[in-house]
Amino acid sequence: MPDPEGLKKTKAAALKYLSYRDRSVHEVAERLAEKDHSQSEVKETIAWLKKLGYLDDERFALHWGRSRIAAKNIGEYRLRRELSQKGLTADTVDKTAQALYSEFDEWELAQSCAEKKLARLRGIAREAQYRRLVQHLQRKGFSSDTVFKMVNKLLPKTATPETTTQETQPHND
């Protein structure tokens, strides 16, 4: 049985931690343990917070995942990894990824990401652009299939006839 005064302090610390943003059960438990609260106090506080509706891993995963996708244009692999790092169960991660990537089009996210990066890569060799764009999209968490299809779409291997014609015609300045 936890000490009543210690439990009161643990609950206050948990509420303060949750006041900044929604958190996973794992994050709250980890934070309280770091602050030297006893395991029984942490366990009871977590149960209390769940009962009050302040802790809900599925709600947290959806809210947090949606904000990461909207702000950072991340792919499904990266979202899954980040949610797992938050201590969420594989089932919660799967449900969240399925729900969010039915809401967001991963191809459009990859295209937006790629076009933004490509704009910053102007003026360097095509091979370097290709390599850097592939690496960027992979870090963003897009599948290899999506990455290579997108990069090949934006940086085709051969120049189009229109591009070649425009580049070889003399300019009248």
The CATH number for 15's domain is 1.10.10
In a domain, 172, yes or no: no
- Residues 133-161: pLDDT tens digits? 999 999 999 999 999 999 999 998 754 44
Q: Is there a single domain that holds both residue 41 and residue 64?
A: no
Q: Residue 132: pLDDT above 50?
A: yes
In a domain, 66, yes or no: yes
pTM greater than 0.85: no
Report the alpha-carbon distance of residue 101 to residue 89 in Å, rounded: 18
Residue 135: the pLDDT is 96
- Residues 9-36: pLDDT tens digits? 999 999 999 999 999 999 999 999 999 9
When divided into structural domains, the chain yields a total of: 3
Mean pLDDT over residues 78-105, rounded? 96
Who has greater pLDDT, 121 or 3? 121
Q: Which of 31-45, 82-96, 153-167 has the lowest mean pLDDT?
A: 153-167
In a domain, 38, yes or no: yes
- Residues 46-77: pLDDT tens digits? 999 999 999 999 999 999 999 999 999 999 99
In a domain, 63, yes or no: yes
Q: Is there a single domain that holds both residue 67 and residue 47?
A: no
In a domain, 166, yes or no: no
DSSP code per residue over 77-143: HHHHHHHHHTT--HHHHHHHHHHHHHHS-HHHHHHHHHHHHHHHTTTS-HHHHHHHHHHHHHHTT--
Residue 82: the pLDDT is 96
Range of the domain at 130: 106-156
Please tell me whether residue 131 adopts helix, strand or coil conformation. helix
Q: Which of 82-96, 123-137, 153-167 has the lowest mean pLDDT?
A: 153-167
Residue 39: the pLDDT is 93
